[in-house]
Amino acid sequence: MNRTDNMHRICVSIARATVEEGLAVAEGICSLADVIEIRLDHLQDIFVSPFIAHLTKPLLFTNRPIWEGGGFAGDEEARIAPLIEAAKQGADYVDLELKAPTASQKALLEAVESSAGRLILSWHNFQETPTREELVGRLAMIQDKGAHIAKIVTMAHDYHDVLRVLQLQEEAVRMEIPLIAFCMGSPGVVSRVATVELGGYMTYCAVNEDEATAPGQLSVAVLRQIEALMQKKGSH
């Protein structure tokens, strides 16, 4: 499945304990973000409507479970409910794991299909970067599930890992599915910058250096500085 639209570039991930804190942070970095990700799994009490009501930037809602590196420890039905609500209320994106139960994927896809939003199916490997064959297989699985956008993020131990993940963009073009793909870890930092220059749908960054939600995540200020420098160098 493929929806043609303007690609977003920089998504700022916000992981705060309260809605009030999350809103305050989001409003503070709004001018630097193309998309704002609200990490529901970090909220003490989960609500989606205040973010949709008060923020004008495109919003992505994620409720990452512990088994995929997140903070949500409740049952699956409770985890999926706010994502379905977000889709019905007009969220631009909702993120669900490829490993999530089929029932969750179907329910969320149904909610998204009756809205203008898009479903990101994500797959993370926090230990390593698999072979190209496995990565392409994961991408195909995500497409087969009906996702509008694929997300594949792995842990890089050297530049070979980084290159394998970035080269997935070629396969995504062939399969006609937008792809978010980069690497975690120190060797993977360059991929967070390069991915959007190589066809990636968007990259993720933190509010500041102290609030990274994944290993190797840059702050939005640093990422914007790098982007400006690249544009300046490219104009000469």
Whether 75 contacts 68, CB under 8 Å: no
Q: Tell me the helix, strand and coil percentages in the chain, rounded to 5.
A: 45, 20, 35
222 forms beta bridges with: none
pLDDT band at 7 (very low <50, low <70, confident <90, very high): low
Distance CA 120, CA 82 (A): 15
Exposure b/e, 45-75, CB count within 10 A at least 16 = b: ebebeebbeebebbbbbbbbbeebbbebeee
pLDDT in tens, 209-232: 887 777 788 999 999 999 888 877
**What pLDDT is attached to residue 230?**
83
End-to-end CA distance of the chain: 39
**What pLDDT is attached to residue 1?**
38
pLDDT band at 70 (very low <50, low <70, confident <90, very high): very high
Whether 24 contacts 50, CB under 8 Å: no
pLDDT band at 159 (very low <50, low <70, confident <90, very high): very high
Closest listed residue to residue 193, CA positions, set 213, 166, 223, 167: 223
Distance CA 161, CA 178 (A): 21
pLDDT in tens, 93-108: 999 999 999 999 999 9
Among residues of the chain, what percentage have pLDDT more than 70?
A: 95
**What pLDDT is attached to residue 229?**
87
Mean pLDDT over each residue of the chain, to the nearest integer: 93
Structural domains of the chain in order of their starting residue, each with its CATH number: 10-234 (3.20.20.70)
Distance CA 223, CA 107 (A): 35
Catalytic machinery residues: 124, 151
Distance CA 162, CA 200 (A): 14
> In terms of residues, how long is the chain?
236
| Residue 183, SS3 per DSSP | strand
